Structure formats: structure tokens, C-alpha cells
Amino acid sequence: MGPKTAGKQKVARTKPINSEIRKTGVMRLSRGRMFHKRGLWHVEKWRKQNEKKPEDKRPKKPTRVVEKQVGGDKNGGKRRVRVSRFPRSYPTEDRPRKLRTNRKAFSQHKHSLRKSITPGTVLILVAGRHAGKRVVFLKQLKSGLLLVTGPFKLNGCPLRRINQIYVIATSTRVDLSKVNVPENLNDSFFNRVKAARKQKTQGSEIFETKKEQYKVNDERKQAQLNVDNQLLAAIKSNPERRLLRSYLKSRFALTNKVYPHKLKF
């Protein structure tokens, strides 16, 4: 207590500190001003000082820099070295973008077959090595490609796969009721097996090594003979076998003043 307030006693307050302004609902002193008037700031300060701080349970951050002893006459002393070094090059993007596409592989497409193409239908190839040849359609594979054959004895076209957009369907048909197409004639049957590379011997030159050419294996030859023998028997049983054989042997070609949109196949 100071000298001025030594003999004085506290008198009870009769009027409130804060009051309403002319019954408008607005108080004379704000909440912040009343906080300091009543001395609540001192109580709040005392409470924070005596309040027990909770233990920090967060894991400690790993050390980024380590102090190391460096030996040598010129380099002697201690150095502060980073635990994990910075990368030599930085990526151009903060996060690598995931390349997405709506396109699906051809094997995942929905493969619908044209109504004009049925087993035994004679097709005209319009693209590829055997373009212009007439072939017999056997079946559609899981990939959507068509399995066709010449037969090989008539026009030299072996068992092949071809997309139906590269063929013209004709009205000529061969009866395949007695032809049994093996189940192993699928997409994996036509996969080529890569030959093992030959190891170079010491002293061998570059020009001595020759590229290995593709050769038809015995399994492919046996499957071709099996299908062709059955197909030739079906052609032989046809009443117009002579015309059918010559029709399959001949190539399709457009001559002068022959328009494809006016032809009836």
C-alpha cells in the first residue's frame, strides 16, 4: 500500500461500471475495455504462468547436419556435413504427371463380325503381301482377326490372320461342315519365336556374322497340310469344283472402265 492509500478504506460500489446508453441496447464500454477495467487480464496472466504445460509427444526431427573430423595437413579440422546430400539434378516438375489415355488395345475392343462374313465365305484380300488373292474364311479369333487360308496349294496363301477391314466378302461359299479346324490355331500360334543370339568368338569379324532369316517351323507346316487337305476335299465335293478352283487361283484386279461400287461380288 502506498502513502496516499494508507488510511483509506474501500467503499462499496453503488453504480455499475458499465451501463446502457439511453436504453438503445448499446453499452458504454466494450468487452475489451471491461476486460481491463475488472483486472481480468491479471488473472489470465497468473493462470497461464501456473498452468502445467503438456509434454510434447511429437517425434523429434532428424538431424540434417553432422559434424565430422577431417584429417590431413591442409584439410585438418571439423566440418559440418549434410546427412543426405542434395541431388545433382532436379526434375522439371514437382510431381510427375500420370499419363492417362482412353484408348484401349486392339485385343480389348468389342469385335463384331460383318453379317456377310460366315465360315466358308470366299474373301478378297485388298492389302498386304497377298493382296488381290481370294481366300477362304475359317473362323474369327479372340483378338478379332480373321483366320483365312488360300488353300496354299491353289494360290500360295498360307494360314494367316487379317483384319476384316482389309477384305471384301463375296457371295461364293465353301461348305465347311466336314472341315475340322484345330483349336490350337489361335493368336498365340502365330507368334514368332526369337532365335538365341550367337556368341562372338575371339578374332571373328563383323562381316562374318549373318542375320538369321525366319523359317517356318514343322508345327506350322503340319497344321497347314491338315487344314488344306480337308479344305481341298470340301472343294472337290462341290458340284462346280472346276470353276471354284479356277476362281480361287485367279487374282482380283480392276481393269479400265470397271468401277468397284458397281460390281456385285
Task: Summarize pLDDT for 248-261 with one digit per residue, the tens.
Answer: 999 998 889 888 88
Q: Are 220 and 160 in contact (CB under 8 A)?
A: no
Q: Give residue 237's pLDDT.
A: 93
Q: Which residue has the higher pLDDT, 116 or 54?
A: 116
**What DSSP element (H or E) covers 242?**
helix 241-249
Mean pLDDT for 180-201 is 78
User: What percent of the chain shows pLDDT beyond 70?
Assistant: 89
Going along the chain from its start, the domains and CATH numbers come out as 106-191+240-250 (2.30.30.30)
Q: Give residue 238's pLDDT.
A: 92
Q: Annotate 197-226 with DSSP letters as a single string.
A: PPPPPTT--TTT--PPPP---HHHHHHHHH
Mean pLDDT of the chain: 84
Helices 241-249 and 218-236 sit at what angle, rounded to 10 degrees? 140
Structure-block grid coordinates of residue 81:
556435413
Distance, in Å, from the CA atom of 147 to the CA atom of 99, rounded to the nearest integer, reads: 35
Q: Give residue 1's pLDDT.
A: 46
pTM to 2 decimal places: 0.56
Q: Which residues contact 189 (CB under 8 A, 6 or more apart)?
A: 223
Structure-block grid coordinates of residue 173:
461359299
Structure-block grid coordinates of residue 210:
549373318
Quote the DSSP letter at residue 108.
G
Residue 5 in this model has a pLDDT that exceeds 60: no
Residue 162 in this model has a pLDDT that exceeds 80: yes
Q: Which residue has the cell 504445460?
A: 53
Residue 219 in this model has a pLDDT that exceeds 50: yes
Q: Give residue 197's pLDDT.
A: 62
